[in-house]
């Protein structure tokens, strides 16, 4: 292949930021790499998103220890993707929380996703030999659940399908701050390869209804203040729609996946080409948009082999 597949050529380490987004609430960000969140309660800490390996999770722990020595008791995972969950063992938490749907995806496609993501983005799996195996939750929920960290209330909710079928958001009412996972991004491409385009906008509306004061997104900078929050929500909406529309037009006339790829590039490149992981996400986004437009409701399982076959098809 003339061009490096996905992010195989991305070996540049990113600069970490640890930003307070509310009292006792932090966003761990790294220039478009997967974010994590930190919620400090009266006597314990909840982590949102576990990173891809225990070694990378230790970078989050180092930041936590710079602001508190309280024990980490909970890890909330917004969905099943390997780069979000496989570092969970590092935290030693008593509870690991996912939605029922997310757990089902770990069972159905967790290993395939791990193998595929490792091939796509090797830098994010630094220290992969320390991963003990797939991450399974100790606690699941269908629609919502509440955790109390002392007096601090944390609501964990499934507001609808978007980035995956099992997405969760984490809302801290006393500061009106939300951790959205990859439903919302900021100056980073949305990964839509396991997404539900038709539902994503409604899920963004559900988030917008909370009128939060800050969001820790899945990727990109922390969003503090209603202006940044709303801009990121609407920008995410535009990215998702701009990906789906041209692919759907091609599918409707019986065009090929390669034609959908060209059509999506024509619409999205002028607006989003400088976004983090744009080139990484694009082939998977086009493939899923093309599938959904042709009536394939459940995203097909990505495997390392399917990744390469799709990439060869798109390269012509």
Q: State residue 254's pLDDT score.
A: 98
Mean pLDDT in runs of 10 for the chain (316 residues)?
A: 49 84 96 92 98 95 98 98 96 98 98 92 88 97 98 98 98 98 96 98 98 96 96 98 98 97 98 94 96 98 90 83
pLDDT digits (tens, 9 = 90+) for 23-77: 999 999 987 789 999 999 999 999 999 999 999 999 999 999 999 999 999 999 9
pLDDT digits (tens, 9 = 90+) for 98-123: 999 999 999 999 999 999 999 887 88
Q: State residue 5's pLDDT score.
A: 52
Full DSSP string of the chain? --S--TTTT--PPPPPEEEEEETTEEEEEETTEEEEEEEE-SS-EEEE---SSHHHHHHHHHHHHTT----EEEEE-SS--HHHHTTGGGG--SEEEEEHHHHHHHHHHHHHHHHHHHHH-GGGGTTGGG--S----SEEESSEEEEEETTEEEEEE----SSSTT--EEEETTTTEEEEETTS-SSBPPP-TT--HHHHHHHHHHHHHT--SEEEESSSS-EESHHHHHHHHHHHHHHHHHHHHHHHHHHHTT--HHHHHHHHHHHHHHHHTTSBTHHHHHHHHHHHHHHHHTT--SPPPP-HHHHHHHHHHHH-
CATH 3.60.15.10 fits 16-226, yes or no: yes
Q: What is the mean pLDDT of the chain?
A: 94
The vertex-83 CA angle with 78 and 84, nearest 5°, equals 20
Q: State residue 2's pLDDT score.
A: 45
Say if CB 15 and CB 28 are below 8 A apart.
no
The pTM of the full predicted model, rounded to 2 decimals, is 0.95
């Amino acid at each position: 292949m003339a061009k490096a597949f996905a992010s195989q050529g991305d070996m540049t380490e990113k600069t970490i930021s640890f930003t307070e987004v509310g009292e006792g609430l932090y966003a761990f960000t790294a220039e478009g790499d997967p974010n994590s969140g930190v919620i400090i309660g009266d006597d314990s800490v909840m982590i949102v998103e576990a990173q891809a390996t225990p070694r990378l999770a230790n970078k989050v722990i180092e930041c936590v220890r710079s602001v508190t020595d309280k024990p980490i008791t909970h890890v909330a995972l917004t969905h099943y993707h390997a780069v979000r969950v496989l570092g969970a063992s590092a935290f030693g938490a008593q509870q690991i929380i996912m939605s029922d749907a997310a757990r089902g995806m770990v069972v159905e496609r967790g290993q395939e996703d791990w193998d595929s993501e490792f091939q796509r983005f090797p830098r994010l799996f630094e220290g992969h030999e320390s991963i003990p195996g797939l991450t399974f939750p100790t606690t699941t929920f269908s629609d919502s659940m509440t955790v109390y960290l002392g007096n601090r209330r944390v609501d964990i909710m499934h507001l609808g399908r978007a980035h995956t079928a099992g997405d969760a958001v984490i809302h801290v009412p006393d500061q009106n701050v939300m951790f959205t996972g990859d439903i919302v991004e900021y100056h980073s491409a949305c990964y839509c390869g396991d997404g539900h385009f038709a539902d994503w906008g409604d899920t963004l509306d559900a988030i917008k209804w909370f009128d939060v004061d800050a969001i820790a997104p899945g990727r990109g900078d922390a969003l503090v203040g209603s202006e940044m929050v709303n801009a990121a929500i609407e920008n995410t909406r535009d990215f998702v729609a701009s990906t789906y529309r041209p692919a759907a037009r091609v599918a409707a006339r019986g065009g090929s996946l390669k034609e959908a790829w060209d059509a999506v590039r024509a619409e999205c490149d002028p607006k989003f080409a400088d976004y983090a992981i744009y080139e990484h996400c694009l082939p998977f986004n086009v493939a899923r948009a093309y599938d959904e437009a042709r009536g394939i409701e459940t995203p097909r399982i990505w495997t390392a082999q399917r990744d390469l076959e799709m990439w060869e098809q798109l390269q012509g």
